Amino acid sequence: MQRRDFLKAASAGALWAGCGGSSPEGPAAARKGAVVGEPRAAAAGLAMLEIGGNAVDAIVAAALTAGVTAVQMCGSGGYGGHMTLAFADSGKVTSIDFNTLSPAALTEDRFAPNADGTVPGQINQFGWLASGVPGTLAGMDLALREFGTKSFAQAVAPAIRHAQEGFPVDAALARSIASAKEQLLADPAAAALLCPNGKPLAEGDHYENPDLGAMLDELAKAGSTEPFYKGDIAEKIVAAFQSNGGIVTMEDFAAYEAKVVEPLKMQWRGDELFTAPLTAGGLTIFEALSILDAAGYPAMKAPLEQTHAWLEALRICWKDRLELFGDPQKSEDPTERLLSKAYAEESAARVRKAVEGGKPLDIEIDYLEQVGTIHLSAADGAGNMAALTLTHGGGFGARVAVPGLGLLLGHGMSRFDPRPGHPNSPGPRKRPLHNMCPTIVRRDGKPTLAVGARGGRRIPNCVLSVLLDYSREGSSVQQAVAAPRMHVEGGLAVGLDEPWEQAARDRLTEIGYTVSKASVAVASAVGLDPASGEWATAER
């Protein structure tokens, strides 16, 4: 038996989203490729495939559109947790880092917390000190120039149309606006956008952002994002920072660059896995896989034994993550040590001891919670794949907007640990740690799965779950996404999602965990159906 034996029956059909496979578009769409994620964004990506674009063109068009249509989760004023790309013909796999960058004037003690861990005035969460230089537009521009086949103007066209024409507010957006209204109303430009006349937009209201559409149109005509970082648009953004007590300068904007970086790579049960490196969340996934491999996880027969090992490996990894990780350009990089055979075996011994003794490991951890993000996955007819995660941070990010641009700003500075002396403490021109981990699996030399998730700190555990199930012989992308998930961040509190049977909940409680039903991150995946040779999509 495997951990799947704890899974309740679920309808695979209900898990399909986006375009491709057996979707309404049918086999023709599947042969051309697939895109999954926010519905309007996925449609924009599919349209790019229809005109001959590759997976990179498709995912960039989808991301730019999501920045308009999923305004509470991401946008041109936000940042990303990397884009991971795999190309079928050349065998190349690469990653693009477009994380936010802190201003040069940010000091280590700027957000020094109170004794209870809270930051005075929540200035790292909301307002003009909470935002750094946005990275999303630079990342999309770089992806197109290096790996795409279409122009920035073509890729941004759907986003411009949605911004100018608008769309009905759905229930999720209405709830997000209502929950954020206190801070949104405190900022005139944000209030005008989302709370016109002092009243939050409600479900069914019409939302539009013509100022953002005009800004994106200016970039389309320029053929690049340079005006956003070094031109007149940058001047308007910086002027808003300066007039509202922010510390971001023109020099900070001009210094920003997205980067092509080497992804992390590992072998797992015959597959090649590629994920985004620090400051992204992929290292946590690979560390957990390394420990589980050393602990003999694949050979474990009892579902409870597998589940207990899985849980303890995650607890070890989260302690490492929250204590050791930071910008590898500014602090010690623990990647090599944490992925070493010696560390895996040392940690695996602890995991086996916990499983054999039927008790949790003694791990203490201190952390602050985080939420947010959106994920997109894409594939094209040539077999290329792309996985991309981007965010504002939490809902509407810093909850401020640049007047005249309709540009909501992410709160990337909230992703620093506010305590001085930590590897992820604030600092000048520094990229904060985040949880996003766009991942690609290559099987028999060909890309077969692109996956990532939205849901803040729940993301790494979610993607790990999908990868564990996908590695089973004969598992499809739908089965992997349907598999049960858990969330833990190092302590004894364990959240199990709906597919888990009550028997699993009871057994883990007996062992000593505090178990609750919990929502987990939402995975968005594109995978190759081995039977049909077509792309299938799944989201849950």
> What are the structural domains of the chain?
3-98+120-258+373-379+388-411 (no CATH), 264-369+440-539 (1.10.246.130)
CA–CA separation, 181 vs 190, rounded Å? 10
Q: 448 falls in which pLDDT band (50, 70, 90)?
A: very high
Pairing relationship of beta strands 439-443 and 271-275 according to DSSP bridges:
antiparallel
- Outline where DSSP puts E strands in 246-400: 259-261, 264-268, 271-275, 374-380, 385-391
CA–CA separation, 96 vs 238, rounded Å? 25
Q: 19 falls in which pLDDT band (50, 70, 90)?
A: very low
- Return the SS3 of 523: strand
Lowest mean pLDDT among 16-30, 62-76, 161-175, 340-354: 16-30
Q: 71 falls in which pLDDT band (50, 70, 90)?
A: very high
Q: Are 78 and 63 in contact (CB under 8 A)?
A: no
Tokens of 312: 């303890």
Kindly tell me if the per-residue pLDDT of 3 is higher than 70.
no
Output 498 or 245, whichever has higher pLDDT.
245
Kindly tell me if the per-residue pLDDT of 7 is higher than 60.
no
The sheet with strand 93-97 has its strands ordered as 33-36, 374-380, 385-391, 79-86, 93-97, 259-261
> Mapped to the 3 state alphabet, what secondary structure does 289-312 carry?
HHHHHHCCHHHCCCHHHHHHHHHH
Q: 518 falls in which pLDDT band (50, 70, 90)?
A: confident
Cα end-to-end distance, the chain, whole Å: 24
Least Cα distance to 136 among 374, 399, 369, 333 occurs for 374
Pairing relationship of beta strands 206-207 and 271-275 according to DSSP bridges:
unpaired
Least Cα distance to 62 among 79, 40, 81 occurs for 40
Rounded to 5°, the CA angle 525-527-530 comes to: 160
pLDDT of res. 372: 58
Kindly tell me if the per-residue pLDDT of 23 is higher than 50.
no
pLDDT of res. 238: 98
Least Cα distance to 263 among 123, 131, 86 occurs for 86
Output 9 or 33, whichever has higher pLDDT.
33
At residue 77, φ and ψ (nearest 5 deg) are -95, 10
Beta carbons within 8 Å of 500's beta carbon, 6+ residues apart? 6, 7, 8, 484, 486
pLDDT of res. 520: 86
Residue 404: is it exposed, middle or buried by C-beta count within 10 angstroms (0-12/13-18/19+)? middle
* Catalytic choice (225, 373, 448, 537): 373
Q: Does the annotation mark 373 as catalytic?
A: yes
Q: Is 3 left (phi over 0), alpha (psi -120 to 50) or beta?
A: alpha
pLDDT of res. 112: 97
Reported as a single tens digit per residue, the pLDDT across 182-200 is 999 999 999 999 999 999 9
Q: 368 falls in which pLDDT band (50, 70, 90)?
A: low
Reported as a single tens digit per residue, the pLDDT across 125-176 is 999 999 999 999 999 999 999 999 999 999 999 999 999 999 999 999 999 9
